[in-house]
Each structure stands twice: as C-alpha cells, then as structure tokens.
Amino acid sequence: MLSRAIPRSVLRSTAASSSSSFRASNIYLGRQSRRWYASEAEEKDLVIVGGGVAGYVAAIKAGQSGLKVACIEKRGTLGGTCLNVGCIPSKSLLNNSHLLHTIQHDTKNRGIEVGDIKLNLDVMMKAKDTSVQGLTKGVEFLFKKNNVEYIKGTGAFKDEHTIAVNLNDGGETEVKGKNIFIATGSESTPFPGLTINEENVITSTGAIALKKVPKKMVVIGGGIIGLEMGSVWSRLGSEVTVVEFLGQIGGPGMDQEISKQIQKMLAKQGMKFKLNTKVTKGDASAESIKINVEAAKGGKEELLDADVVLVAIGRRPYTAGLGLENIGLDVDERGRLVIDQEYRTKIPHIRAIGDVTFGPMLAHKAEEEGVAAVEFITKNYGHVNYNAIPSVMYTHPEVAWVGQNEQELKAQGVKYKIGSFPFSANSRAKTNLDTEGMVKFITDAETDRILGVHIVGPNAGEMIAEGTLALEYGASAEDVGRTSHAHPTLSEAFKEAAMAAYGKAIHY
C-alpha cells in the first residue's frame, strides 16, 4: 500500500495508444428515463464502469494504492457474470451433482451402502444461491474496507472524462475521472433462429436456474461451458446430446489427445456427442423443440428432439449502451475494444480490461489485467504473462492445461518431447478409486524447457497451478522432476510426468 499521495504527473496517462492485444468483466448497460439529477461529486482518480471480476479487482487494487476510486455496476450485486451467473454458481451445481452421482453409482464399491436417494432440486439451487450471495456481499465489504465508492446504476460516457449514471434507485448522477476503465464484460453469443427465453431455450444463465430436470437436453457447442452444464444435467438425470461443429470437444485450446480421453469418459457417464456437426435450424414453437443438424461439410439432415436447448457457442464483448460513440471509440470486427500493451484505448486515459477486449474470456485473466492496469497508472509498469494463463474444465474428471498444446506446436514446426504419466499408476488415485486420466508434459526437445502441461483427471484444476508457476519461471521438466512431492499425493503423477519428459518415470 502506498503511504503517500500519488503525484498528479503519475496519474496522467502518457504515450499515444497503439493497436495490440488484451481484455473485460460483465455489466449490462442501457439508458433509463431521467427523473432527477444528483449533485456532481469530486473528480476521482479512477472511475471503473463494470463491477465484474476485472472491474472489482481493479477497484480494490486502486483503493489499496491510495487512489480515489468509484466503480459503477448496474446488476445491483458485484462480481459480474462469473460470480452471479457463471463460474461460481455453476461450480456449486457441478460439485453437488457430482456428490449425488457418486452416491448413486459409486459408494457401493467403497463399502458404503445407502437407501433410496432422491434429488431435491430446490434445495440444491438454494445452496448455490447462498454461496453466491455470501461472495457478492464479501466483495461489497472489500469495497468499503478499501474506500471504493460503489455506484449502483447504468453508466455511459458523456464525454472523455465524464460518466453519466442512471441510478438503480431512481435519478441520475455524473462521475468524473482522471482515468477511466471499461470493464463491461461479455454476453452469451446468440444462435440465429433460436430466441433465448432462459426457460427452454437457454444460455448458461438459464442452465443454472432450471426449475426441473429436462428429460432431453441438446447442447449446441462442445466447449467448456456446454460440457460443464451438460455434465450437471446429465448427472441429475437428463439425456444430454452435445452438438459440436469442430472435430473435438473442449475447444481448440484443449490438447487433442486430452480431448479424446475426456470425451470417452463423459460418454461412459451417459453424455452423447455429435462432432463435426452443424445445427442448420431450430424450431421452439411447440412444447418439444426440434433441432435440425447435419455434417459440418454437408450431408443428410437429422432431427433432434429436446425439452431444453442450451446455446453455448461462446461469448462476445458487451458494450451496448456504453456511449462509445460520444467519445469516438470504435470496436473491431468481433466487438472488442482495441487497446495497446498498457490496456489504453486511442484515448490514453481510458483503458479496457477483461472480456470486453482481446484474449481468453477467463475470470482469472481479467483479474490479472485489473491489477496490471492499475499498476500502469500508479507505477508506470504492470505485468501479465499471457503465455501462462491456465484453463480448467470442471467436469469429472477435471481437465486443465497451461501453455501450448501438441497441435499448436506441430503447426509452428517446433521440435518437442512428450512425457506422460497415468493416474492408474498413482498410489493416491488408486486408494481413492479415481484413476481415470493422465498428466502430460510437452517440452522443448533441445532445452527441456516446459512448453505446456495438460491434465485430465482428479484434482486437475488445483494441480495445474504448479504447471503455471513452472511456466512463469521458465522451468525445465527436470526442475520439476527433481522437486520432492509428498507421498502419497495425486501431485506425484505431475512429478512423474515431468520425469518421463526428460528421462523415465519411476512408477510406470
């Protein structure tokens, strides 16, 4: 924390903007009718539009750094999509549906015999909501602790230094800022021909709030969101079919070998997959939704029936109602705000972070950008290593990776080595009766430097942190292999995979 006031010279943004790459959080912006006008407050050092992960983290960091900061959020609760209707509530449902699935299908093998098991969906949803409410209130407390002014309302640019706010409780105000961050996040990409109602044609928002288990669910899109939410409802009793245009699930970032493994595992759990398949049209006019699909390259059409259709074809930046036209800011062909290496738009004191700009739409990426953007204001330097941003899919088993995958390295002509180790040879996994999956290291063939780590298996989401740290510090596989890992732990599979990359694993 800074013990003295930040000089005005530091607070002024310098250098003209260039066109590079970077990111934003989530808030839905629009103009409301004018009723009364609140008096203008003092100029802030920083005004942040959007209270999602990028925005609230930046606000807290700025408050810790001694800046006078205000954060504008329309939703009425902080945390954006991630905390309110995304990462957090979906993990609650994933965890609790996994517990149900384990009790129904696995505890007998562990010597635990139970009676009749039934789902109380209302209570499961209440548990999810309780988690969300506690965390959003926690962020609000951190705002108070760090002297961040929290303005509940819809913000739009009046001019380059002024945000006009339609307050949720009625009336209007204006907030002036020496610096302004745009952290307005993203929204689900709609599917042409299917109108989202969040009841039977849903996005991820509707998928965490269904009032009953659908008999049949079709998921359009086999990326992480589609697979996670499809997994939840499959465990709860729905017949889930995933339709994916690409030839693999998990998205192009997932290593193809890992993708094939997790597809087999999810199929064994009951999920169905139609890869290299496109949806040509959908009809939701009747009680049962009709989805027409055919091979991605063309072919015979097939008709799918569903009670619920989940549209999970990705997300797009959200800037509607932000008033970008009032200050001459443009977006690119994908709706992203163009920024330079210091997150500045072409107006240097206005920066964009998180989903609203370039890069993977991940909460932890947005978090890092929130911190770095504030540091550029207060210190004139900041840091995010975009080559060491982990990704996690919270199915069971989990899938996690960081760095490059095999298909990327092949395309680049990079010479590499592979070291892998199966959880079936790991003592802790065997005692847990949870042995599906593997750890895979990809290293530079000449230097042994780690280029990527890919895991499918138990605890993958936690284990990938070690791989991320290794990448951040430029470690070799031998560095990891010569580091003692506690026995018996799942992380020993990580060490053994590293050993296999530069020599030989001991236990396989």
Q: Name the strand (E) or helix (H) holding 102.
A: helix 87-105
Provide the 3-class DSSP secondary structure of residue 356: coil
138 known ligand binder: no
225 known ligand binder: yes
129 known ligand binder: no
Characterise 328 by phi-psi region: left (phi > 0), alpha (psi -120 to 50), beta (else). Answer: left
DSSP label at residue 430: H
185 known ligand binder: yes
244 known ligand binder: yes
364 known ligand binder: yes
DSSP label at residue 13: -
Residue from 105, 396, 485, 487 carrying the catalytic annotation: 487
314 known ligand binder: yes
Q: What six digits make up the tokens of 263? A: 């597809």
228 known ligand binder: yes
Nearest to 324 by CA among 338, 308, 340: 338
Distance (Å, whole) CA 9 – CA 18: 21
The set of long-range contacts for 422-425, using a CB threshold of 8 Å and a minimum separation of 24, is: 422/493, 422/508, 423/457, 423/458, 423/490, 423/493, 425/493, 425/496, 425/505, 425/507, 425/508
155 known ligand binder: yes
452 known ligand binder: no
Q: What six digits make up the tokens of 491? A: 């992380």
323 known ligand binder: no
363 known ligand binder: yes
What amino acid is encoded at 359 in this protein? G
Q: What six digits make up the tokens of 150? A: 């929290």
362 known ligand binder: yes
Distance (Å, whole) CA 462 – CA 388: 15
Indicate if 487 belongs to the active site. Answer: yes
124 known ligand binder: no
Hey, which residues are catalytic here?
487
Residues contributing to the annotated binding site for NAD(+): 221-228, 244, 314
Residues contributing to the annotated binding site for FAD: 91, 155, 184-186, 355, 361-364
Residues contributing to the annotated binding site: 91, 155, 184-186, 221-228, 244, 314, 355, 361-364
